[in-house]
Amino acid sequence: MATSEQIRLLIVEDVPQVAQYIRGLLNAQTQIKLLDVLTDGSKAVAQAQQLRPDVVLVDHLLQGRMKGPAVIEQLRALEVPVVALTVPQNPLRPDPAKGIFAVLSMPFSGYDLITRIGEVQQMLRATDRLGSARLVAVYAAKGGVGKTTIAFNLAVAAGQLGFRTVLIDGSLQFGDLRSLVKVPLDAPSLLDLPTDRIQESDLADVLWRDPSGIDLLLAPPRVEMAEMVTVRDIDKILSLLRRVYEVIVVDTTAVLSEITLSFLDASDTIVNVVTYDSTTIHNTIAVADTFRSIGYPASKVRYLVNRADSSGGIAAEDLARTLGRVPEYSVVSDGRLVVQSNNEGLPFVLANPSAQVSQDIVRTATDLLGAGRVAAAARR
């Protein structure tokens, strides 16, 4: 969303006139947020860790204790992308392996500056998505329709199909998974991740390894702690998890808060749970409108009818007509198995794999994640 789109820029430049020129160019726009201008290269790493820029502009000809190339090398180790500033007499080529994602040669215009920085950001977004996990958000426009139950079992089914899977509790206030899976109160949560530069090695400490074979990223243990999580934290966490896992499932909440939207924005597919209940259907239509106006393509959303065999008098055709399409998935109701498994903190797909409700979930997972991958996983 708009606020998280702004690119955070740090500049390392010791020539005051050049720094002043760039400040002037940046003043005329809002796409890039200038965090600070450092004149001393040896402060770059500490400041980058503190300010968390998306991109750092470094003068390759930087003088002083630490020269330009050394600063760039240090930032590369931190995985912070650099735009290198140079002069025609000192030609440079972009080389992402060395941390130089783009080169800006003097003299340059405001347009050059902004496009170069924008390109770097886009390049990173693209690689973040490429070759990385599939993110499935389980959403419903109304509470209590089975989001948490379905998200948990869908994630476990993905794990069974051979995908390295993490399940995120996106219901930050109530942390539904904490009570479902019955973790101890001091089990780590999303809040235990360092917010500055999160590293892959930090992940092991904050994930809950469930006996069902998947990892869980839990919500904070107390309601009021949910406020401490920002959209920016979510973006960072997701980009890190994408590198480590093949499938990310998120359990969300009905309220379209900024946090919920950030999960939905990031997801490849939204599994939108509906039930044969007029309020749920009404809310689902309203949200479908919102999704359209945000610009989500229709193919991003898949409808899943939960408790599909208890229609309460509403015909399947009526539901399809109201939604404007036939729901892709359905899961039957199984009060005994589902409630008992939930009470024991077990996924029903493992407790009773041959039950219809389990098979419905596995079919959904297979379809969502691609049969090709499933066959490949089965061969491993």
Ligand X SMILES: Nc1ncnc2c1ncn2[C@@H]1O[C@H](COP(=O)(O)OP(=O)(O)OP(=O)(O)O)[C@@H](O)[C@H]1O
Where do contacts with ligand X occur on this chain (CB under 6 A)? 140, 143-149, 171, 176, 254, 306-307, 331, 333-335, 338-339, 342, 357
Tokens of 257: 């808060």
Q: Which is nearer to ligand X, 121 or 149 (CB)?
A: 149
Phi, psi of 307, rounded to the nearest 5 degrees: 55, 45
H/E element, 12: strand 7-12
**Least CB distance to ligand X at residue 256 (A):** 13
For 94, what's the count of Cα atoms within 13 Å in the CB-facing half-sphere?
Answer: 14
**Residue from 74, 148, 165, 189 that binds Mg ion (CB under 5 A)?**
148
| C-alpha span between 367 and 269 (Å, rounded) | 12
**Least CB distance to Mg ion at residue 142 (A):** 11
**Backbone φ/ψ region at 144: left (φ over 0), alpha (ψ -120 to 50), beta:** left
- Asked if 364 is part of the footprint of Mg ion (rule: CB under 5 A), the reply reads no
Give the three-class secondary structure for 351.
Answer: helix
The one of Mg ion, ligand X, none whose footprint includes residue 12, by CB under 5 to 8 A per kind, is none
The one of ligand X, Mg ion, none whose footprint includes residue 283, by CB under 5 to 8 A per kind, is none
Find residue 39's DSSP bridge partners.
none
Q: Which is nearer to ligand X, 333 or 366 (CB)?
A: 333
- Asked if 176 is part of the footprint of Mg ion (rule: CB under 5 A), the reply reads yes
Q: Roughly what angle, to the nearest 10 degrees, separates helices 356-369 and 147-160?
A: 70
The one of ligand X, Mg ion, none whose footprint includes residue 307, by CB under 5 to 8 A per kind, is ligand X
Q: Which is nearer to Mg ion, 21 or 174 (CB)?
A: 174
**Least CB distance to ligand X at residue 266 (A):** 20
- Asked if 149 is part of the footprint of Mg ion (rule: CB under 5 A), the reply reads no
Pairing of β 269-274 and β 301-306: parallel
Find residue 209's DSSP bridge partners.
215
Q: Which residue of this chain has its Cβ atom nearest to Mg ion in the complex?
A: 148
Q: Which is nearer to ligand X, 74 or 341 (CB)?
A: 341
CA dihedral 326, 331, 333, 336 (to 10 degrees): 180
Tokens of 36: 């600070």
Phi, psi of 35, rounded to the nearest 5 degrees: -85, -45
Q: Which is nearer to ligand X, 240 or 332 (CB)?
A: 332
| C-alpha span between 222 and 201 (Å, rounded) | 25
**Least CB distance to ligand X at residue 287 (A):** 14
Residue found under tokens 């809310």: 283
Q: Are 167 and 216 in contact (CB under 8 A)?
A: yes
The one of Mg ion, ligand X, none whose footprint includes residue 145, by CB under 5 to 8 A per kind, is ligand X
Q: Which is nearer to ligand X, 215 or 334 (CB)?
A: 334
Length of the chain: 380
Q: Which is nearer to ligand X, 133 or 141 (CB)?
A: 141
**Least CB distance to ligand X at residue 62 (A):** 52
Q: Which is nearer to ligand X, 4 or 310 (CB)?
A: 310
**Least CB distance to Mg ion at residue 377 (A):** 28
Residues that bind Mg ion (CB under 5 A): 147-148, 176
